Amino acid sequence: MSLLKVAVQKSGRLSEDSLKLFNECGIKFNNGAKKLKAQSHNFPIEFLFLRDDDIPGYVEDGIADIGIVGQNVHEEYGKDIEVVKYLGFSKCRLSLAIPREDSYTDVTYFEGKNLATSYPVILKKFLDEKGVKADVHEISGSVEIAPGIGLAEGICDIVSSGSTLLSNGLKEVETVMKSEAVMVASKSLSTDKKNILNQLIFRINAVLEGKNKKYVLLNAPNDSIDKIIDLLPGMRSPTVLPLAEKGWSSIHSVISEDDFWENIEKLREAGAEGVLVVPIEKMIK
């Protein structure tokens, strides 16, 4: 029986959410001692804990079969591997930033400038597309201090809230790419391993599907059922059950959280009472 070898970040911004995802998929393993490897005892998977930068290369070489990395790392290393699933966590963007006091009009600002980044491939591609010629210098950490110490006039770095930029006297002026965590896979998996990967993706889909949906239960007088059903686009159609109290029913449906908030006032106007909103752990379409 094959084992699917899964590379996840050992410690960093992807680690916790990656392991949480496997947990939510019901895949149990013991990672007590922060080892290099761990094997699941209820799913044919073995985890390898690595630096995120090493993951694309290891997947290409077949040392790992699949891995979880940020799209930024996947693009930067440009390995011959496939993105098999967008995972929706570790969302961030790669942006260009300049000293706060400089005025900025458009991307031609960067013409002839020195730029520091840990993502030279992505940045050069972006500048090429815009027809801007700049000097790109690769530095591996603390990119945001480069302008302050005279190493560069601008930077391209990961931003999520922008507070790091602000505290280094910089402002964000262009988004170079948006990123989230992705599952990448080798292009030459055996049939056995492909089957395991498909089972895994089936579970991940069920988890992700459930995440942004809610199970809604409410009570309503029978003469408002039609109106309420129109406001509740369910998976197929809402469930309507009679209540012990005559003339009343309980209506159950699955809707997205956004739709719920958008429609709650209308539901109440239509006569809905005792509304319960319950999280969904897994959902299989």
Report the interface residues with Zn ion, using CB under 5 A: 52-53
Name the residue nearer to Zn ion (CB basis): 159 or 208. 159
Q: How far is CA 15 from CA 12, 67, 89, 181, 212, in A?
A: 6, 11, 11, 11, 22
- Asked if residue 137 lies in contact with residue 152, where contact means CB atoms within 8 angstroms, the answer is yes
Binding site partner of 179, from ligand ATP, Zn ion, none, Cβ cut-off 5-8 A by kind: ligand ATP
CB of 35 to ligand ATP, least distance (A): 16
Give CA–CA dist 124/26, Å, rounded: 42
Beta-bridge mates of residue 220 = 249
Give CA–CA dist 75/263, Å, rounded: 40
Select the residue whose beta carbon is closest to ligand ATP and give its number. 70
Name the residue nearer to Zn ion (CB basis): 53 or 259. 53
Binding site partner of 13, from Zn ion, ligand ATP, none, Cβ cut-off 5-8 A by kind: ligand ATP
- Number of helices and strands (H, E) in the chain? 8, 15
Name the residue nearer to Zn ion (CB basis): 24 or 53. 53
Give CA–CA dist 217/255, Å, rounded: 11
Name the residue nearer to Zn ion (CB basis): 52 or 75. 52
Name the residue nearer to ligand ATP (CB basis): 185 or 272. 185
Rg (CA), the chain: 25
Binding site partner of 9, from Zn ion, ligand ATP, none, Cβ cut-off 5-8 A by kind: ligand ATP
Any residues with CB less than 8 A from the CB of 222 and at least 6 apart, and which? Answer: 247, 248, 249
Name the residue nearer to ligand ATP (CB basis): 77 or 248. 77
In 3D space, the residue among 126, 113, 6 whose CA is nearest the CA of residue 69 turns out to be 6
Binding site partner of 90, from ligand ATP, Zn ion, none, Cβ cut-off 5-8 A by kind: ligand ATP
CB of 274 to Zn ion, least distance (A): 50
Q: Using CB under 6 A as the criterion, which residues of the chain lie in contact with ligand ATP when the complex forms?
A: 9, 12-14, 51-53, 70, 72-73, 90-92, 158, 160, 179
Binding site partner of 27, from Zn ion, ligand ATP, none, Cβ cut-off 5-8 A by kind: none
Give CA–CA dist 191/202, Å, rounded: 16
Binding site partner of 154, from Zn ion, ligand ATP, none, Cβ cut-off 5-8 A by kind: none
